[in-house]
Structure 1
Amino acid sequence: MASAPQQGLPLFYNQIEPLSSQVHGDYRARTFDKASFLVDQHAVPVTVEEFPMVQRFMPIVFSVGDEPVPLALMGLNEGVNVFFDSEGTLTEPNFYVPAYVRRYPYLLARLRPDSDELSLCFDPTSNVIGAFEDGEPLFDNGQPSELTKNILQFNESFEQAGARTGAFMKDLKDLGLLIDGEVSIQPDGAEQPFIYRGFLMVDEAKLNELRGDQLRKITQNGMLPLIYAHLFSLALMRDIFGRQMRLGKVPQPQPQLV
């Protein structure tokens, strides 16, 4: 499953530095068409708002652990991404890139544990932000540029979506709908099936057994279509597997952690 890098930093981030007009007043931001940080990444966090779009292209599963999060699978095995090539170039002309990917190298972070205030930060190792001659300025006469304002707005929206996603996950757990997932894929000519485990999914049997008041609640609060988006997306497991086979990135048949 997707896991955070060392030192407790979020996935993809090597360092975090608060963006400051005093320190970074002459910094510019470059656009980039290659996401090298995605090359070996097979699972990316997504928010509930993204389920309708994500389920068209990738399976949506949930991570294991005490605080599971929704994940979009770009591959079924560690180190395999079937949508980005070895240089980090997107190979699909029609594809939905999750917001978690699009926000990099920026994020909102709590700089002091005794404060709830979030500050706009960035990863200085990304080679996207710096004192470059090219790119768009992040500050204009000591004030945030239009670009920086848009970046801040995007990250604020992402945090709000993250809070709604957390509430959705809590409701799934409280209703007891999450179970250990397992997918078995038997390719033509293979002696043994490929079995994928190590993720959580919604149990359709338990979903169908919900009491009337519980079903009414998840219908009224919008959870039900999100649950079905997740369940429908699981059919794409075999599509991702087929892509891996065509790329020659399928290991020997044995239990794998998604």
Structure 2
Amino acid sequence: MASAPQNSALPLFYKDLIPLNSQQHASWKTRATDKATWLVGVNSIPLTVEEFPQAQRNFPIIFTTGDNPVPLALMGMNEGVNVFVDEDGTVNSPVYIPAYVRRYPFMLAKLRPDSEELSLCFDPTSELVGELDEGQALFDGADPAEATKNMLKFCENFEIAGNKTANFIAELKKHDLLMDGELNIETGQGQPFNYRGFQMVNEEKLREMRGDVLRQWNQNGMLPLIYAHLFSLELVRDIFGRQISQGKGPLVPANA
């Protein structure tokens, strides 16, 4: 169900990544855009746990498989399909845009594998950064300009949210609450569409959790986030319906 980056060595969206510095990029600018071209055809977006309350209004929230699950917002039920973004990158309806999308083409990254220090980097292939005629300056002399400071702060907050998300996942795994997911969509035409290859919270195990654990989760805000995920799964039929109405639906399974 999840669209993988074209280059597995780089995060989703990023085709290249270089550090921002005042020597090489003194005259560079960054510009805003109303076209999220990097979102075209991407059906699943990494999500931080802090975004669950907003995202669950628009997207099903699932978790990737494997030992290190990542929350994803589904913007389409099938790979290569994003029902909220047109082919030119226009977002076609009011919808929450995940922070992972909004930080592009910037991100914090390690310049050396032996160091924990993170530096502000960017994708030089993006048309949103460069020696542009218009836009906001990235540097004021040798110092970061306001636009750079704001983006650095945004990326720092994203990293903090990422750590909170890792703690959330660790707590789910500690209590063995994640299970292989399966979603079936009946269309009345042949066999139902079946989606697998993801994880979700096991509601049966959740109901059996000890009261003291549930009380702690309610107090620290984790329990509402779990239910935001579970309630969001009802949206799969809405996403599927949008695919069909946009002519992007999968082939109808043949009758058994």
* TM beyond 0.5: yes
**Structure-2 separation of matches of 1:5 and 1:175:** 34
Is 1:172 paired with 2:169?
A: no
**Structure-1 separation of matches of 2:217 and 2:62:** 19
Listed as ranges, the gaps of 5+ residues in structure 1 are none
Is 1:100 paired with 2:100?
A: yes
Q: List per-residue Cα deviations over 1:173-216 (Å, max 9, x = no partner).
A: 1111101111111113x121111111100011000001123222
Equivalent residue number for residue 121 of structure 1: 121
Q: List per-residue Cα deviations over 1:206-242 (Å, max 9, x = no partner).
A: 0000112322232222110000000000000000010
**Structure-2 separation of matches of 1:137 and 1:78:** 37
**Structure-2 separation of matches of 1:122 and 1:177:** 36
8 Å contact kept, 1:55–1:230: yes
Q: List per-residue Cα deviations over 1:107-160 (Å, max 9, x = no partner).
A: 000111111110000000011111112111100122110111000000000000
8 Å contact kept, 2:178–2:201: yes
Query: How far has the Cα of 1:35 moved from its partner?
Result: 1.4
More off after superposition, 6-15 vs 147-156: 6-15
Query: How far has the Cα of 1:4 moved from its partner?
Result: 3.7
Equivalent residue number for residue 184 of structure 2: 184
**Structure-2 separation of matches of 1:89 and 1:100:** 17
SS at match of 1:61: strand
Q: Which amino acid aligns with 2:180?
A: D
Summarize the Cα distance change of 1:160–1:104 in structure 2 as closer, same or farther, 3 Å threshold: same
More off after superposition, 213-222 vs 96-105: 213-222
Q: Which amino acid aligns with 1:181?
A: G
Equivalent residue number for residue 241 of structure 1: 240
What does 1:27-66 correspond to in 2, within 5 Å?
27-66=28-67
Q: List per-residue Cα deviations over 1:18-37 (Å, max 9, x = no partner).
A: 00001100001111111111
8 Å contact kept, 1:59–1:236: yes
8 Å contact kept, 2:105–2:122: yes
C-alpha RMSD of the superposition: 1.1
User: How many matched pairs?
Assistant: 252
SS at match of 1:22: coil
Equivalent residue number for residue 87 of structure 1: 88
**Runs of 4+ displaced beyond 6 Å:** none
Is 1:220 paired with 2:219?
A: yes
What does 1:69-80 correspond to in 2, within 5 Å?
69-80=70-81
8 Å contact kept, 2:3–2:80: no
More off after superposition, 127-136 vs 223-232: 127-136
8 Å contact kept, 1:40–1:78: yes
**Structure-2 separation of matches of 1:29 and 1:22:** 16
Query: How far has the Cα of 1:7 moved from its partner?
Result: 4.8
Q: List per-residue Cα deviations over 1:75-130 (Å, max 9, x = no partner).
A: 000000000001111000x2110000000000000111111110000000011111
Query: How far has the Cα of 1:252 moved from its partner?
Result: 2.1
SS at match of 2:50: helix
8 Å contact kept, 2:61–2:232: yes
TM-score (norm 1): 0.95
**Structure-2 separation of matches of 1:5 and 1:166:** 24
Q: Which amino acid aligns with 2:246?
A: L
TM-score (norm 2): 0.96
Identity of aligned residues (%): 58
